Amino acid sequence: MDEFFNTDALTVSELTKEIKHTLEENFSRVSVIGEISNFKDHVSGHWYFNLKDAGAVINCTMWRGFNNYVYFTPQDGMKVVVNGKITIYPPRGTYQIDVRSMQPAGLGELQAAFEKLKQKLEEEGLFDEKYKQPIPSFPEKIGIVTAIDGAAFRDMISVAERRFPLSELLIAPAKVQGAGAAETIVKSIEDLNKRKDVDVLIVGRGGGSIEDLWAFNEEIVARAIFDSRIPVISGVGHEVDTTIADYVADLRAPTPSVAMELATPDIDDIFGFISDFSYNASNRIEEILETAADRINMFTGSYAFRLPMDLIRRKQQQLDYMIGGLVQSIDKKFILSDRQISLLSKTLESYDVQKTLKRGFVLVKQNSKFITRAAKFVKNEPAQLEFFDGKIKVHP
């Protein structure tokens, strides 16, 4: 029975330590291929996920300082190659891969991730035409999101100077490939959207491999373009390159140079339009003047204009007749008015009290009232008699 007991037994911690030392020393540099599952992007910036195949699963951790150099966003189901070392997590007694670098297992994996995100955003409606904003015809200020030291930026400047030098270019520098590129592109788009004077945005870069262009296939870039209140023209890569950003943008251009051409009018076309308009307008004005002159000549050659003074004299004669008739009418009204006034004057004179008294009549007044009837005269009260030449008071 004692043979099953060993006084030299290891503690759990000691055993784990021995295993940790053995594994970490013998597997300090490993390269493993597998499929990602249960991927978690922690708020701390660290990545936690499993790597699996048909027969096994292993935990993986990738710290923030290392995952900053991964140019794509890992997704569940993506097949990748990770490089790192085996470590033991003693509190749980589990082993894991401490990942130092990560790459897609092949171009097929990136293409699969591309198609998966494309389908997701399409189902959400981010590609719908109803959300596409019109591009202004004469932009005063054009915002550009690209690498400031890239050939694409120099090409866009050259196109703008040639086509429409009146536009002002505002560059928001961004990293356009590699780790962290998607985040800088998003920030530049958001910074330009905070301004009130930008009419259109160009987001793009020159050509490259699918890995080089991958920042424009990231979901955060697609959503930043979709959320932009400023119309966005995408110009990523060459003619054959297509990115998620192209599907979301309000207008897609095959190259950055073509994007600037789509954003600006051609000043030669403008001058040509002005020249044609001036020429056509001058001809039209001449036609209008000639037509008006013909009509004037037609009118002046008619019978009415051949004897204009006769027409004027006839009109003057008609005016004289009208004035004469008006004067006669006014004279008649004056005569009638004089007669009416005379009649009214005589009528008023017949009611003149003084003239009546002068003819021998007397006004009798009693208690300040005129007595018009004998029955109203009170014999025992004083009275006043008014003659033409004076007044007499009579007492009883």
128 domain-assigned: yes
Residue 35: inside a domain: yes
Q: Do 11 and 60 fall within a single domain?
A: yes
Same domain, 176 and 314: no
| DSSP secondary structure of 348-393 | HHHT-HHHHHHTT--EEEETTEE--SGGG--TTS-EEEEETTEEEE
Of the ranges 66-75, 96-105, 147-156, 162-171, which one carries the lowest mean pLDDT score? 66-75
> 144 with 82, same domain?
no
Q: Span 147-165, mean pLDDT? A: 92
Same domain, 205 and 101: no
CATH number at residue 220: 3.40.50.261
Q: Which pLDDT value is given to residue 49?
A: 93
Tell whether 288 is covered by a domain.
Answer: no
In a domain, 271, yes or no: no
pLDDT for 348: 65
Would you state the pLDDT for residue 182?
Answer: 92
What mean pLDDT comes out for the span 233-258?
A: 92
Whether pTM exceeds 0.95: no
Please tell me whether residues 388 and 246 are part of one structural domain: no
Residue 301 falls within a domain, yes or no?
A: no
139: in domain: yes
In whole angstroms, give the CA distance from residue 390 to residue 396: 20
pLDDT at res. 3: 57
Among the candidates 215, 246, 265, a domain finishes at 265
Do residue 123 and residue 258 come from a single domain? Answer: yes
Q: Within a domain: residue 213? A: yes
58-66 long-range contacts (CB < 8 A, ≥24 apart) are 58/32, 58/34, 58/95, 58/96, 58/97, 59/94, 59/95, 59/96, 59/97, 60/84, 60/96, 60/97, 60/99, 61/96, 61/97, 61/98, 61/99, 62/99, 62/100, 62/102, 63/98, 66/99, 66/100, 66/101
Does residue 280 fall inside a structural domain? no
pLDDT tens digit string along 173-201? 999 988 889 999 999 999 999 999 999 99
Residues 326 and 359 in one domain: no
* 315 shares a domain with 225: no
Clarify whether residues 152 and 221 are in a common domain: yes
Looking at 235, 265, 295, the residue that finishes a domain is 265
Total of domains in the chain: 4
Please determine, for residue 2, whether its predicted confidence score (pLDDT) is greater than 60: no
User: Are 124 and 247 in a shared domain?
Assistant: yes
Domain residues for the domain of 337 are 307-349
